[in-house]
A and B are shown apart, each in its own frame.
Chain A
Amino acid sequence: MALAQHLPALQVILPLISAPLAILFRRAGPAFLIVTAAAWLSFAIAIALFLQVDASGLISYPMGNWQPPWGIEYRLDRLNSFMLVLVSGMAAIVLPYARGSIEREIPHESHYMFYAMLGLCLTGLLGIVITGDAFNLFVFLEVSSLSTYVLIAMGRDRRALTAAYQYLIMGSIGATFIVIGIGFLYLMTGTLNLADMVPRVAVIESSRPGLAALAFISVGVSLKVALFPLHQWLPNAYTYAPSSVSAFLAATATKVALYALIRFYFTVFGDNFVFGKLPLPEFMLILSLFAMLFANAIAIFQDNLKRLFAYSSVGQIGYITLGLSFDSVHGVGASIMHLFNHGVAKGAIFLLIGGAVARMTTRQAAPPAPTFERIAGLSKAMPLTCFGVVLGGLSLIGVPGTAGFVSKWYLVLAAMEKGQWWLVGAILVSSLLAVAYVWRFVEAAYFRAPPAGRETGKEAPFALLIPGWLLILATLWFGLDTSFTAGAALDAAQQLVHSGN
């Protein structure tokens, strides 16, 4: 069928078209329906493409039938077909949630713009993942970033504005660094097609412009990844953004940036050069350890739950970059797995917390910050929400039976392969830190008495509970049945690691 050929283009174009349509309708209802339909369709397309790549190995789609390397090529391999499933799947789950959740967070007349922005953000993230063209990647990066700034600024607290502004400055510096790096690569190789670049980069990578390109791209992408110590924008952005936005960003935005990092390191420059000839593994190892230990430790001392889990995200990103620095099939496989597993678990936690906040919000008033004082004794009023957050927390710790355990297991395996036993200790210590911050939640929600003034509320609204629990169940499912996550991630790692150049 003719349409089936064009799935890679439709993957991006459907959410792209949904955004202006949502604006044209100027009403929340139709805007919601259009963007949600686009997200669901693009989730279905992502699954179809994943299966297609599973069967045939590689899909190359010439955009507008302009043949690569002159035209823009959409190129799908194991890694990005897997990422497409994560990104579009999260959008498909977050959108129905957003309908109920933004009711109390955003004035009704700007709901349609919220949906349009979410559609654009999804477009940008999917575009970064699917494109095989370096400059196209930058453009999609900016599409997703600009819409993200708007989404964060829609938070009710005025600090959402400063968080968005701060992220705008940091994010634009990061994106500009990336475009400088891509510019150097283009000047040296004369091509923008990533696959076409590979053999040409191999010739020039040790030259000074080649190294400068690598340096600019590394710093720029690390800013978007929120790799320690470039994570300063992240805690405020996640804390003050509307609940659905926090969940969507935590699950996808940094993950897509990590994808870009993997793409540049392992495909374009080649890991034999980046990790074999440069002192980058050591450098990345140290930063990852700082993230795992410091950010997780900072998380323990946060008073606001959203901020706590934001710092925990910075720590979890440390595991992912640690896996990359091993440059082995198990290490990189663990990273790709953890991208997915952490995205699902953290998305679930933010969704559930958002549900609890929505229940605590009284009409017209700004949503209260989910501080430990406010959630004291919450388990009596909202047993399902609290239990869900605890299960998500167990996945962050890496308890067997949850998805977090699987990726951490492969990470430990990779460390042992390298003979680096002390790293196994470091992973354990950082997991203990995670135990500490999850325990703080358990202690407050289950063992403290509710504050005197709070009326004994009900469970979070079901429209907000179900999406969160779907993700929690996914976390448990992927903890028991690893054929999808581990299979795809290890296959992708096999394609990436020591692939020749």
Chain B
Amino acid sequence: MLAHFTNVITVFLMVAGLFIITARGNLIKKLVGLSLFQTSVYLLYITPGKLIGGTAPILSPAYTVYSNPLPHVLILTAIVVGVSTLALGLALTVRIREAYGSIEEDEILALDHSVEDDEARESH
């Protein structure tokens, strides 16, 4: 259990994030879940790249154990992607709040349905 500590944390964050996305109706909370889910992937990549006692990959006779730098670089990109997704999600939430006056999924759906009913009545 302890040997797989980082893996356990990774999977916990992953599942917790997915759970929040599906279980919460608040658009902000959903985004929190999404961020948590994406963050867990950063750990998935980075932890295997780190060797205990390893240094940055600098060629020197003094060091023999190196950490793999590639996962870190990849995750830098993934963090940028995660930040932009979150920013865009929040921007959309602001616009939704302006248009609907709510950020609760069920209230928004109810508003949409009432509009659809009106449209149907108009056309008949």
Give the B-binding residues of A (Cβ under 8 A). 135, 138-139, 142, 146, 149-150, 153, 158-159, 161-162, 164-165, 168-169, 172-173, 175-176, 179-180, 183, 186-187, 192, 303, 369, 371, 373-374
Contact = CB atoms under 8 A, between A and B. Distances in A.
Contacts of A186: 45, 71
- Residue of A153, A158, A172 most packed against chain B (CB within 10 A): A172
A422 B74 CA distance: 47
Given A161-B99, A180-B44, A369-B119, A169 B34 contact: yes
A165 B77 contact: no
B18 interface: yes
28 contacts: A139-B81, A142-B81, A142-B85, A146-B85, A153-B92, A159-B115, A161-B95, A162-B108, A165-B27, A165-B93, A168-B88, A169-B21, A169-B30, A169-B34, A172-B38, A173-B18, A173-B37, A175-B81, A176-B41, A179-B78, A180-B14, A180-B41, A183-B44, A183-B45, A187-B48, A303-B120, A371-B119, A373-B124
B112 interface: yes
B51 to A, nearest CB: 14
B63 interface: no
Nearest to B92: A165
A162 B113 CA distance: 13
A175 B96 CA distance: 24
A335 to B, nearest CB: 29
B88 A158 contact: no
| 4 residue pairs, one from A and one from B, having the closest CB atoms | A158-B99, A373-B123, A142-B81, A165-B92
B55 interface: no
A172 B85 contact: yes
Interface residues of B, number: 35
A146 B84 contact: yes
A135 B74 contact: yes
Contacts, number: 75
A192 B73 CA distance: 13
Interface in B30-60: 30, 34, 37-38, 41, 44-45, 48
Contacts of A373: 123-124
Given A146-B84, A162-B108, A165-B89, 5 more contacts: A135-B74, A139-B81, A186-B45, A186-B71, A374-B123
Nearest to B35: A172
Contacts of A176: 37-38, 41
B19 interface: no
B12 interface: no
Given A146-B85, A168-B89, A139 B77 contact: yes
Nearest to B37: A176
A164 B115 CA distance: 18
A373 B27 CA distance: 34
A371 B116 CA distance: 12
Contacts of A180: 14, 41, 44
Contacts of B84: 142, 146
Nearest to B115: A159
A373 B112 CA distance: 20
B96 A150 contact: no
A180 B38 CA distance: 9
Contacts of B44: 180, 183
A161 B92 contact: yes
Given A158-B99, A169-B34, A187-B48, A371 B77 contact: no
Nearest to A165: B92
Given A169-B30, A179-B41, A149 B81 contact: no
Interface string B71-106: 100100110010011001100110110011000000
Contacts of A139: 77, 81
Nearest to B31: A169
A175 B41 CA distance: 11
A168 B93 CA distance: 11
A183 B37 CA distance: 15
Nearest to B112: A159
A149 B85 CA distance: 10
Contacts of B99: 158, 161
B81 A165 contact: no
Nearest to B95: A161
- Residue of A153, A161, A303, A374 most packed against chain B (CB within 10 A): A161
A374 B122 CA distance: 11
Contacts of A165: 27, 89, 92-93, 96
Contacts of B92: 149, 153, 161, 164-165, 168
Interface string B19-33: 001000001001000
A173 B44 CA distance: 16
Nearest to A135: B74
Interface in B1-20: 14, 18
A143 B88 CA distance: 12
Nearest to B96: A161
B54 to A, nearest CB: 16
